[in-house]
């Protein structure tokens, strides 16, 4: 079976299309959202998901989150003595989701559809495909997150033809797509977005503002100890979520070592105004992509039938209000904004498998940005380089293939460098360089020897560029610029072998480890009375583990978990 995976900045989820529709698959802790966090513990074992997230609170130096933002770049991080890039970290997360799916479906899972932000560029998409391969998953398709969400809605509410805006604000990225639903078709008319804008930025903005306003008072203004910063961000995240339901929230300010004062005297109370002021410059970034997506679809807000909210950050009242005033209508969301993307990915998986229930479903997607090459232009008898020649215009339906013929600029020019860019600016310096390659063997002759440049953009949003010397029919192909070129089979094999040496904690022990880890962390922070009680519960749990009696372990763990959920201020599960 092909599964659908939402590989998120903050949380990830895996889903499968079952006879009664798309279904989210629970992880070893019974949750359908798995935090996108990886860590290495003291014994050198890899922790993934909630275990890693808990570990991160006190051990930020051996944990990492938010790595999706670095996909396709040369960013690396060191956890203990191991170096990881975003692709490897994503593959660890994907391998854990694959295992959850295998446990749930009771069969091996080797194929997946993975979602990415519509605004992900070529290298980020390639890196996502390779992360899948490293995790033992052949990636059948990469689809855009808002498109996946649209599919979930399209299948859920099959019978109504309408035009909607899908407003997707997650942990790290913002995408907006204008989508037509008609007779089982889901047709994306336009997409636009911001690659770096999401809930994580709002949380950090709150933390920065608290440090600026109150840092002196708590003697942490000049301190940037990782443990303190990580703890403060975590407390701001809690407060930010609380403010989605209440008017004020308390942020417990950690001391310089990152510890929280159990009495809560080191705290600040913030309200929605504070949150909105801290985030205002970020909120302002939402409007431009919205205007662009509407303009590209040749629509105004009046032409829309509804606005669908996707992504955890759309729970913020300020976001709902902004959507309301930008679109002049109340946004809706009859499906859970955290679940729709994975559900849509499962539907795409069903389409690939030829699932009978989806016989009438057709999905049409677009390339969200313009793709082209650098050219020189004659300006007052002088050739000037640095101009952008679009070859595939933004919002062209994909898959697509377009060809453009260019000429050499000097007599007997035997070589040409093709620089490939993505973006909307007239000059390449303001666009993003995707890659570069050389064409050699151009025959001697006057300037103007012809080269055909063909851009092929497949259904995954992955680009192939080919240059053909017209006179000789010699072909050259794009090799990516920053060393992020696709891995060969042999490289994948050796990377998989290297990763297998890193031990991941067995899934069946996850629930016990989770309870133990969280209890041990809380133990340090509780008041004396509560600490005594927790100590007793921990002793009982540990002795049950020693005795290896499954029913006693289960009972002791449940008792411990009840205590933890009553007294843990760090419990983030309320946002789900
Ligand atoms: P996603 O990538 O869609 O899982 O979005 C996760 C982001 O949504 C994180 O940055 C969370 O802080 C944010 N989020 C989740 N729940 C809430 C909430 N109740 N209020 C505000 N933000 C939330």
User: Which tens digits make up the pLDDT trace of 164-184?
Assistant: 999 999 999 999 999 999 988
- What is the per-residue pLDDT across 115-156, written as a single tens digit (0 to 9) for each? 999 989 888 999 999 999 999 999 999 999 999 999 999 877
**pLDDT over threshold 90, residue 497:** no
How many Cα neighbours within 13 Å face the side chain of 354?
0
Share of the chain above pLDDT 90, in %: 69
Indicate the helix (H) or strand (E) that contains 530: helix 528-547
Contact between 184 and 158 under an 8 Å Cβ cutoff? The reply is yes
The whole-number pLDDT of residue 499 equals 79
Q: Helix-strand-coil percent breakdown of the chain, rounded to 5?
A: 40, 30, 30
- Span between the terminal Cα atoms of the chain, in Å: 27
The residue that leads in pLDDT, 494 or 75, is 75
**Length in residues, the chain:** 576
Q: What's phi and psi for 274, nearest 5 deg?
A: -60, -50
Tell me the catalytic residues: 6, 68, 145, 168
Ligand 1 centroid from CA 171, angstroms = 6
Q: Could you tell which of 171, 202, 283 is best to mutate to test the pocket of ligand 1, judged by most ligand atoms within 8 Å of the CB?
A: 171
The residue that leads in pLDDT, 11 or 42, is 11
The whole-number pLDDT of residue 569 equals 65
Per-residue burial over 121-155, b = 16 or more CB atoms within 10 Å of its CB, e = otherwise: bbbbbbbbbbbbbbbbbebbbbbbbbbbbbbbbbb
Question: Which residues surround ligand 1 with Cβ inside 6 Å?
Answer: 8-11, 170-171, 198-200, 203, 237, 240-241, 244, 311-313, 315-316, 338, 575
Range among 2-6, 485-489, 510-514, 524-528 with highest mean pLDDT value: 2-6
Quote the CA–CA distance of 84 and 64 in Å, as a whole number: 10
Ligand 1 centroid from CA 168, angstroms = 11
Q: Which protein residue's CA is at the shortest distance from atom 1 of ligand 1?
A: 170
**pLDDT over threshold 60, residue 20:** yes
Q: What's phi and psi for 318, nearest 5 deg?
A: -65, -35
Share of the chain above pLDDT 70, in %: 96
- Residue 47: CB atoms within 10 Å: 27
**pLDDT over threshold 50, residue 576:** no
Nearest atom of ligand 1 to the alpha carbon of 341: 3
**pLDDT over threshold 60, residue 17:** yes
- What is the per-residue pLDDT across 259-314, written as a single tens digit (0 to 9) for each? 777 666 688 999 999 999 999 999 999 999 999 999 999 999 999 999 999 999 99
The residue that leads in pLDDT, 159 or 328, is 328
**pLDDT over threshold 60, residue 567:** yes
The whole-number pLDDT of residue 220 equals 67
Ligand 1 centroid from CA 446, angstroms = 60
Q: Which protein residue's CA is at the shortest distance from atom 8 of ligand 1?
A: 312
Q: Could you tell which of 5, 8, 10 is best to mutate to test the pocket of ligand 1, judged by most ligand atoms within 8 Å of the CB?
A: 10
| pTM score | 0.90
Name the pLDDT band for 480 (thresholds 50, 70, 90): low
Mean of per-residue pLDDT scores for the chain: 90
* Long-range contacts formed by 427-434: CB under 8 A, 24+ apart: 427/386, 427/387, 427/388, 428/374, 428/386, 428/387, 428/388, 429/386, 431/388, 432/121, 433/481, 434/121, 434/122, 434/123, 434/371, 434/463, 434/478, 434/480, 434/481
Nearest atom of ligand 1 to the alpha carbon of 312: 8
Nearest atom of ligand 1 to the alpha carbon of 245: 19
- What is the per-residue pLDDT across 76-113, written as a single tens digit (0 to 9) for each? 999 988 899 999 999 999 999 999 999 999 999 999 99
Give 58's contacts (C-beta < 8 A, 6+ positions apart).
227, 258, 521
Nearest atom of ligand 1 to the alpha carbon of 243: 20
Q: Could you tell which of 9, 36, 166, 312 is best to mutate to test the pocket of ligand 1, judged by most ligand atoms within 8 Å of the CB?
A: 312
The residue that leads in pLDDT, 33 or 334, is 33
Query: Chain-centre distance of CA 465, in angstroms?
Result: 26
């Amino acid at each position: 079976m092909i599964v659908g995976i939402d590989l998120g900045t903050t949380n990830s989820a895996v889903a499968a299309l079952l006879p009664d529709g798309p279904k989210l698959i629970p992880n070893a802790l019974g949750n359908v959202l798995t935090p996108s966090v990886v860590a290495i513990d003291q014994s050198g074992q890899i922790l993934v998901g909630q275990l890693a997230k808990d570990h991160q609170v006190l051990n930020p130096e051996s944990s990492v989150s938010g790595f999706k933002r670095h996909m396709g770049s040369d960013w690396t991080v060191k956890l203990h003595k191991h170096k990881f890039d975003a692709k490897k970290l994503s593959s660890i997360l994907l391998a854990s989701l694959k295992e959850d799916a295998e446990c749930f479906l009771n069969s091996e899972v080797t194929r997946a559809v993975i979602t990415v932000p519509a605004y992900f560029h070529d290298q980020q998409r390639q890196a996502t495909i390779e992360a899948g391969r490293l995790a033992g998953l052949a990636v059948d398709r990469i689809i855009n997150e808002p498109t996946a969400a649209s599919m979930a809605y399209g299948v859920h509410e099959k019978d109504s033809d309408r035009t909607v805006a899908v407003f997707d604000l997650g942990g790290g990225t913002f995408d907006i797509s204008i989508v037509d639903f008609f007779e089982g078709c889901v047709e994306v008319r336009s997409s636009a977005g911001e690659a770096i804008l999401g809930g994580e930025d709002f949380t950090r903005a709150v933390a920065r503002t608290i440090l600026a306003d109150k840092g002196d008072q708590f003697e942490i203004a000049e301190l940037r100890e990782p443990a303190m910063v990580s703890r403060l961000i975590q407390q701001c995240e809690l407060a930010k979520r609380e403010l989605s339901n209440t008017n004020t929230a308390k942020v417990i300010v950690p001391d310089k070592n990152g510890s929280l004062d159990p009495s809560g005297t080191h705290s600040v109370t913030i309200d929605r105004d504070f949150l909105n002021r801290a985030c205002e410059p970020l909120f302002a970034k939402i409007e431009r992509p919205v205007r662009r997506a509407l303009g590209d679809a040749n629509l105004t807000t009046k032409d829309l039938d509804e606005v669908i909210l996707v992504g955890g950050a759309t729970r913020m009242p300020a976001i709902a209000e902004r959507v309301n005033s930008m679109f002049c209508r109340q946004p809706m969301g009859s499906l859970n904004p955290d679940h729709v993307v994975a559900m849509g990915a499962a539907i795409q998986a069903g389409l690939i498998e030829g699932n009978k229930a989806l016989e009438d479903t057709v999905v049409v997607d677009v390339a969200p940005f313009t793709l082209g090459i650098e050219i020189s232009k004659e300006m007052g008898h002088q050739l000037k380089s640095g101009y952008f020649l679009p070859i595939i215009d933004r919002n062209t339906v994909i898959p697509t293939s377009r060809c453009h013929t260019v000429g050499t600029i000097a007599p007997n020019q035997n070589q040409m460098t093709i620089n490939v860019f993505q973006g909307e600016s007239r000059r390449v310096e303001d666009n993003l360089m995707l890659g570069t390659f050389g064409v050699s063997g151009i025959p001697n002759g006057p300037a103007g020897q012809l080269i055909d440049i063909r851009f092929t953009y497949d259904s995954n949003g992955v680009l192939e560029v080919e240059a053909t010397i017209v006179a000789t029919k010699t072909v050259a192909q794009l090799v990516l610029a920053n060393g992020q070129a696709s891995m060969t089979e042999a490289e994948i094999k050796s990377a998989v072998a290297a990763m297998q040496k890193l031990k991941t904690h067995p899934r069946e022990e996850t629930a016990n480890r989770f309870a133990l880890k969280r209890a041990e962390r809380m133990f340090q922070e509780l008041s004396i009375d509560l600490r005594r009680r927790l100590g007793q519960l921990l002793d009982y749990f540990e002795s049950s583990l020693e005795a290896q009696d499954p029913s006693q372990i289960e009972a002791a763990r449940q008792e411990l978990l009840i205590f933890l959920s009553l007294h843990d201020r760090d419990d983030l599960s309320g946002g789900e």
